[in-house]
Structure 1
Amino acid sequence: MTTRIQKSFLSLTLVTALLLSLFSSIAAAATKDEQQAKAAPKSKIQSYVDDMQPGWNLGNTLDATGEDETSWGNPRVTQELIKKIAAQGYKSIRIPITWDSHIGEAPNYTIDQAYLDRVEEVVGWALDAKLYVMINVHHDSWLWVSHMEEKHDETLARYNAAWTQIADRFKDKSDKLMFESINEPRFTDGGSTDEAKMEQMLAELNNSFHQIVRNSGGKNDVRPLVLPSLETSPTQPRMDQLYKTIIALNDPNIIATVHYYGFWPFSVNIAGYTTFEKDTKNDIIQTFDNVYNTFVAKGIPVIVGEFGLLGFDKDTGVIEQGEKLKFFEYLTYYLKEKKMTSMLWDNGQHFNRKTYKWSDSELHNLLMSGLKERSSSTESDLVYLKKGAAIKDTKVKLNLNGNKLTTISANGKYLTKGKDYTLNGEELTLKASQLKKLTASQKYGENAVLTLKFNKGVAWRLKIIVNDTAKLSDAKGTTESFAIPTTFNGNQLATMEAVYTAGGNAGPQDWTPFKEFGNTFSPSYNTKEIKLLPAFFKDVKDGEVILKFHLWNGDILTYKITKSGTNVVGKSS
């Protein structure tokens, strides 16, 4: 990742490309078969990359920009952590490293030996754990490399000095250690705006890196080297430029890398993209068809060096659980189809560095299962039953993905087919009699979880929820602290719209009325409130704004706020 501490932004270029996709829906314009290039014979370096699957990022640690690897909140790396990651089934580890604070002054730019020793120690632990290992120059990309246009000679000299020392230190290590030239290279932070100039500077860095490493002795003459596109973006023009660089090097041990955080509106939950729908799916297809045709089909292996969802930087719940799982299930499947190795970005939000437990074991299990087979799901993992209303048979659409439903259980007891449920193709019907039993307590919220098992893949959890109409209450506050008291009555919030009563969309990203979940608003079910966050009010003009809160059961609640300076008053409808 390239942002300070956490990745909460995409480049303007990439956002623009995604928004064009959003409005034009070009992703589905051509069929897969029409786009596929004829694959090249499998090479030794492709086999190397295949053996790396799956991969994991040791994020926000040695890449931290402070004086110490703990400066961004994660504990010091231990050998036990590395062993635990290997035990989880991972075959490779990317160790992002920021060198900036540990590089001396010109002209030698000497890297602090104690820091090199520490990096070597962690790399050694990973190699001892039989992992493939990738190290790089990480946040240096925006800290100082981004200023290359205005400080060309100084930047290149510093970069070259860093790689000269890194290459020398690690030249005798196993070839399971690979070098990545630079993470998400971009030059806009330094003021560069000309795309062609930026591509030229990246090519210069990549070529210089290649020359330094190949001439540094030891095993570096054949060590696998990983080269990124500009911003490590999978957009076609930038991949084309990387392809030209790689072809010109004429080196059989080069690997291309891109990063992927999904279709941007879905990835951050904005513009009404709350579900894993066709635009989000097509973005995966189009992106990796292009990556495949540009590199893999021509004999250049690809590592997706980071993947995830951008909303995770706010909270892993920004994208609803079932929709999140469907996204990762399809992404894992498609990357497997396209013969690409992927490395999960984890800045500490996935695998707890102290307890060695996954924050979302469902996600971990699904990713691991996806290495060999597809998993099944339902159209939604939420079934809402209104409190006190007559319960009827409920139909649930299955996404079998070629599998067969084998059993359904609740609280350890198996449901009986024909009596408790029926199955007609991909249509599952939950019988009213069984639903009455499961919701007998009539308490608000989750009353039961049905576990659907299939002949292949992981189980799917279907939540049975009792709910009633949610209620919003009047409130007063400021632009820095405003919360709407909310009686959720078993409901969950999907998204929020904001428009001025005088017309026009309110708040940031005013090209859409639907605001970004976790950035402009956030529900708190424990404290029974919906918070409107300072980032929302920063771009709200004084006056009346109508808010519409969309709930997962389909209800829409309307609320009016009036902003006057820093004061905010809210009225329920």
Structure 2
Amino acid sequence: MVSSAGKIRSAFLAVLLALTASAYGAVQQASADSTAQSGASQIVADMGAGWNLGNQLEATANGYPSETAWGQPTVTQALIDKVRAAGFRTIRIPVSYLGSIGAGPDYTISPSWLTRVQQVVDYAYNRGLHVLINMHGDGYKSVNGSWLICDSSSQTTIKAKYQKAWQQIANKFRNYDDRLILESMNEEFDGQYGNPTQPCYSNINSYNQIFVDTVRKTGGNNASRWLLVAGWNTNIDYTAGNYGFTLPSDRYRASTVPANERRIMISVHYYAPWDFAGEESGTITQWGRAATNPSRKSTWGQEDYLDAQLKAMYNAFVTKGYPVVVGEFGAIDKSSFDSSNNRYRADFARAVTATARKYGAAPVYWDNGATDRYGFGLFDRRSLKVTQQGIIDAIMSGVSGRTAAPALTPGA
């Protein structure tokens, strides 16, 4: 029989042990979360400032991908070298497949097209750059030959085709190291600019899961490489908010990846406010705190909005070890309406990259090759001349922290 005093001592020791175990578990969890965030921070730091090879491998003609169909010249090693020399460390290569995918059940991608995709990837990869490749135009209803349609009734066929296509793409690149990042899709939604709908969003989540499972199962370096997935239309609110986005599980990744590390990244795009960044009109040509003409500045989408948007992604994903990639951002050229426009385009680019840096996201500028009115281009792809050095300088200063913007702390 144990005395009352003994019972009290035993109870006290039990409570003490329980508290110690609880504290130890909390420390271990905090350590795990810290390690996961560390991995995310490293890949983002390594990616630096990114640039999109837009309007090239996702360009189309008559339902087939066509590299020069939208007015750009054939991509060359010299172009990629020029982009690298400007300071960019990541190149995103949008890719459409469309009619280059054959009939089921094998859905064989044209070997010549897949080889050309690999050749362009190698232009960047062999120069030590990080490279992102995706499936770009296949999900746009407006594109002839599109098929990755989330509100189509043919989901069984779509998912089988999607799985076979990514199996072939992943096998083509299975031996590339972690500098190659595969991206599941681009701006996938039902085409209506309102709240997400069902079952469309559930199908998008299914595509992401098929993508992750398929790539992982091809083995090689695909078993551990970073994979980039997106929510509804790469929209921040509809990805970070409670609108139906589901992170895919990663059950087939290599066992060599520590259990507390992530190898999934989240893609979003940023073109806010649209009347400044994308609307083809000469009305709104200025942005930010330095704007001098209130009639030319949008009533929304300024620095505070930008900060809140990327903070939402930080809270939802980065704090849990999932890196965020702002896979597209930029503002079109309206200098023909306002000679000061390029200054504000540079301010916008600097702010996006600096805010991305603050919240642990990798920024990738959208360049569509157009250097005239309404273009996003930073380089003339024929002459290989830089056309917007001011915007490039702004991007580099923002991503490196060499900016006059006030220092801010995540969560503040």
> CA shift at 1:268, angstroms?
4.3
Q: Distance in 2 between matches of 1:296 and 1:243?
A: 16
Superposition map of 1:170-185 within 5 A:
170-185=173-188
Residue 365 (1) aligns with residue 393 (2): yes
**Cα offset for 1:242?**
7.2
Q: Does 1:298 align with 2:309?
A: no
Specify the SS of the correspondent of 2:92: strand
Tell me the residue number matched to 1:71: 69
Per the alignment, in what secondary structure is the counterpart of residue 51 of structure 2?
A: strand
**Map of 2:109 onto structure 1:** 111
Query: What is the Cα deviation at residue 52 of structure 1?
Result: 0.3
Whole-angstrom CA distance in 1 between matches of 2:44 and 2:244: 18
* 1:226 shift after superposition: 0.2
Give the Cα separation in 2 of the matches to 1:141 and 1:209.
14
1:301-380 equivalences in 2 (<5 Å): 301-309=323-331, 311-312=332-333, 315=334, 317=336, 320-348=341-369, 349-375=377-403
Counterpart for residue 123 of structure 2: 125
TM-score by length of 2: 0.75
Distance in 2 between the 1:99 and 1:308 partners? 25
Q: How does 1:32-51 map onto structure 2 within 5 Å?
A: 40-41=33-34, 42-51=37-46
- Name the counterpart of 1:257: 267
57, 63, 80: which one aligns with 1:62: 57
SS in 2 for 1:93: strand
CA distance in 2, matches of 1:109, 1:318: 48
**Are the aligned partners of 2:151 and 2:199 in contact in 1 as well (CA < 8 Å)?**
no
Give the structure with the larger strand fraction: 1
Counterpart contact for 1:95–1:135, Cα < 8 Å: yes
Q: What TM-score do you get using the length of structure 1 for normalisation?
A: 0.55
Q: Taking every aligned residue pair, what percent have the same amino acid on both sides?
A: 32
Structure 1 residue aligned with 2:217: 215
Contact map agreement 1:46 1:300 (CA 8 A) in 2? no
1:393 is matched with which residue? none
Distance in 2, Cα, partners of 1:112 & 1:199: 30
Unaligned runs of 5+ in 1: 1-38, 377-399, 403-573
Deviation per CA, 1:36-71: give whole Å up to 9, x if none. xxx952332431122101111111001111242011
362-371 or 220-229: bigger deviation? 362-371
Equivalent-residue separation in structure 2 for 1:228 and 1:342 (angstroms): 15
CA contact (8 A) 1:40 1:296 kept: no
Moved more, 252-261 or 277-286: 277-286
Structure 2: state its 5+ residue gaps.
1-31, 141-145, 252-258, 290-299, 370-376, 408-412
Aligned residues of 2:87 and 2:396 also touching (Cα < 8 A): yes
CA-based RMSD = 2.7
The alignment partner of 2:384 has SS state of: coil
How big is each residue's C-alpha offset from its partner over 1:14-40, in whole Å with a ceiling of 9 and x where there is no partner?
Answer: xxxxxxxxxxxxxxxxxxxxxxxxx95
For 2:170, what is the secondary structure of its paired residue? helix
Is structure 2 residue 204 aligned with structure 1 residue 202? yes
Q: Residues 188 and 325 (structure 1 numbering): CA distance in 2 closer, same or farther, change over 3 Å?
A: closer
- The whole-number CA distance in structure 1 between the counterparts of 2:244 and 2:183 is 14
Mapped contact 1:332–1:367 kept (Cα < 8 A) = yes
1:267 equivalent in structure 2: 277
Residue-by-residue CA offset, 1:167-208 (whole Å, 9 max, x unaligned): 11111112211110011111237x999613121001110001
- Length, aligned pairs only: 337
8 A contact 1:56–1:346 mirrored in 2: yes
> How far, CA to CA, are the matches of 2:85 and 2:288 in structure 1?
34
Following superposition, the deviation at residue 239 of structure 1 comes to: 5.0
> 1 or 2, which has the higher helix percentage?
2
| Cα distance, 1:277–1:176 mapped onto 2, change above 3 Å | closer
What per-residue deviation string (whole Å, max 9, x for no partner) do you get for residues 453-502 of structure 1? xxxxxxxxxxxxxxxxxxxxxxxxxxxxxxxxxxxxxxxxxxxxxxxxxx
Contact kept, 8 Å, 1:192 with 1:198, in 2: the verdict is: no
Higher relative contact order (CA 8 A, sep 6+): 2
Letter in 2 for 1:43: S
Report the AA paired with residue 369 of structure 1: S
Deviation at 1:276, TM superposition (A): 2.1
What pairs up with 1:474-493 in 2 under 5 angstroms?
none
Amino acid at match of 1:168: N
Q: Could you say which residue in structure 1 is the equivalent of 2:296?
A: none
Tell me which residue corresponds to 1:165: 168
Equivalent position of 1:276 in the other structure: 287
- Secondary structure of the equivalent of 2:70? coil
Contact 1:233 1:239 in 2 (8 A): no
Letter in 2 for 1:186: F
- Report the alpha carbon displacement of residue 305 of structure 1 after superposing the two structures with TM: 0.5
Work out whether residues 150 and 188 of structure 2, in 8 Å CA contact, stay in contact via their aligned partners in 1. no
Q: In 1, distance between residues paired with 2:246 and 2:153?
A: 25
Larger radius of gyration: 1
